[in-house]
Chain A
Amino acid sequence: MGRMTFVFRRLALLVPTAVGVTIITFFMVHLIPGDPAVTVLGQHATPATVALLHHQWGLDKPLAEQYWLFMDRLVHGNLGESLYYQVPVWGLITGRLPATLWLLCYAAVIAIVISVPLAVLAASRKDAIRDHVVRVVPLLGLGMPAFWFGLILQTWLGTKLRLFPVTGYGQGFVGHVHTMFLPSLTVAVALCPVLIRSLRASMLNVLGADFITTARAKGVPAPRLLVRHVLRNAVIPAVTVLGINIGYLIGGTLIVEQVFAVPGIGSLMIGAILQRDFPVVQGVALVFGVLVVLVNLLTDVAYAALDPRVRFGR
């Protein structure tokens, strides 16, 4: 299969997934036990207000028609209106998306900066003490609730040592880099265990290859061998792991944004949950779903483009 055919096939596979994502977000509101209108209105629920909300949301129409309307609005960039802010959800999300994307990219960079040296250290001598240490210590990160670690960083590096601002997004590039460091570090620490593990495994894999033996026989010094020959080849699988784990990464940003008051779509979603703002929750979930699908697609395509050895087809 040719390269373009692969990309097109991959794009075609996207369609059922994207439709599925919309179906799940659509039915989310229908999963609510009882009547969502009553839940939202709370004490203000009278038959008249409930009927009005039903009509506004189109809940008085058949389910298939409702889904059709939902999709129709969606392709026109209309995600409905926020019950709390009384403005279109789409505008809320686009206004807050940059902060979330900043956090995601920054966290990915920090995770790579932490993980690569540690993985090199571990793989350079398998089963040595340093290998065991690098394998075990990041396990601490797996069971660490991101919000808790964020609170600890806030208290020590923010409030006590005053090295970093405690909350917010910052002004300009330098401001973003400074202000977003703690939240990004929090997200990155959760990602490091997975990344270190896969990098180490793929480096060990590469170390067993014939061309490494050849390079060794030629007398290539160890540091150069690790960086130029091993790391280069091991990075591609690690990038894929990063792509696959984008969902995990995004899940981390959700709560971290809340703790550090980063004005992104994660904190928007948490806020909407606390205010019982259904359309916003639905909209953000949809945007997150689409984001993950797109990143996975990009990872696949980038992988295929970067590594000429990748064979296309299943």
Chain B
Amino acid sequence: MSTDLVSVVPVEGRTRLRRARWYRHPTLVVGLVLLVAIVFMCVAAPLLTSFDPDKQNLEQALSGAGQYGHLLGTDQEGRDTWARLLYGGRIDLRVAFLAVLFPFVLGTILGSLAGYFGSWIDAIILRVIDVVVAFPFFVLVIALVFVLGAGEKSIYIAITAVGWVSYARIIRGEILVAKRQEYVLAAQSGGLSSLRIMGRHLLPNVITQAIVYAMSDIVQNMVAIVTLSYLGLGIQPPTPDWGTMIADGQNFLTTQWQLTTIPGLTVVLTGLALSLVGDGLADLLRPGAS
């Protein structure tokens, strides 16, 4: 992952130097190790548990950790918490990653257009950004998912509709600076098309900022998805998901605290891993910026 990202840094010599040194950023290494471990456990879920996350067994409902071979106990319907945690992670992580991809692409395209062409295109896009930014992220996402109907597709649409503005702002700002540099002027005098200049010359130089932001954006999306599921607007039962698990467990907080606490801690830990990777990437790609 890191080598791909590093290779977009323009200066060849520096690239090699940094590629050799990525492991010297402790935040990046710790974050990557944590993240890889979490993703691996979710992907390898069938190997790590023999329980079916959806299978109810009311006779073993609300059993404590270790009882009947349930590593973390069971929920109110007798479903294995450990299995639901792993299989739920598959859904939540997939949706969080995909929900970053769409706004990233849309925002990058619109931000490049606004930054490169300026004039009326810029004016219109800026006004739209102002309006979308006026709404608190959660308010607009929850309202949109509500009107579109609960479920995964609505989450993608809502997060894309709201999330693209951050990327557009970042890319626009970067392009405004970069387009005045000599290599762009050279490309322009060489008669290259605007599309080619943007795609081949400008974007590779300005995209790093957006990639760094995307890491923290995944965290925000994950929290948003879990929150939506908690409200019953996100991943629909019986599909396991961390938000629904927290919601289901809250009625048993005083007796079976692990039902709510563990999925929550998993979200926090995953968020920490992603934030560390984001921080480490920022240090790596923009030395001196922190």
Q: Which residues of A contact B (CB under 8 A)?
A: 13, 16-17, 20-21, 23-24, 28-29, 31-33, 135-136, 139-140, 142-149, 151-152, 154-155, 159-160, 201, 246-252, 254-255, 258, 269-270, 273-274, 281, 284-285, 288-290, 292-293, 296
Q: In the complex, what residues of A have CB within 8 A of residue B147's CB?
A: 28-29, 31-32
Q: In the complex, what residues of A have CB within 8 A of residue B134's CB?
A: 17, 20-21, 247, 289-290, 292-293, 296
B131–A17 CB distance below 8 A: yes
A251 to chain B, nearest CB (A): 3
B140, CB-defined interface residue at 8 Å: yes
- Summed over the interface, the residue pairs from A and B with CB atoms below 8 Å come to a total of 158
Contact of B260 among A148, A250, A254 (CB under 8 A): A148
Q: In the complex, what residues of B have CB within 8 A of residue A155's CB?
A: 253-254, 257
Query: With the chains together, A292 CA to B136 CA distance in Å?
Result: 7
Query: With the chains together, A201 CA to B130 CA distance in Å?
Result: 26
Interface of A is mostly: helix
A248–B276 CB distance below 8 A: no
Contacts A31-B148, A247-B133, A288-B136 given: A142-B143 contact, CB under 8 Å?
no
Stretch at the interface among B61-69, B110-118, B198-206, B263-271: B263-271
Query: With the chains together, A293 CA to B133 CA distance in Å?
Result: 9
B279–A139 CB distance below 8 A: yes
Query: With the chains together, A127 CA to B113 CA distance in Å?
Result: 39
B233–A143 CB distance below 8 A: no
Query: With the chains together, A21 CA to B274 CA distance in Å?
Result: 33
Contact of A269 among B127, B139, B276 (CB under 8 A): B139
B188, CB-defined interface residue at 8 Å: no
Contact of B272 among A140, A248, A285, A290 (CB under 8 A): A140
A145–B253 CB distance below 8 A: no
A136–B136 CB distance below 8 A: no
Question: Residue-by-residue, is B128-162 near A (CB-CB < 8 Å gives 1, otherwise 0)?
Answer: 10111111111110111011110000000000000
B139–A285 CB distance below 8 A: yes
B208, CB-defined interface residue at 8 Å: no
B276–A251 CB distance below 8 A: no
B276–A139 CB distance below 8 A: yes
Contacts A16-B127, A20-B130, A159-B254 given: A255-B143 contact, CB under 8 Å?
no
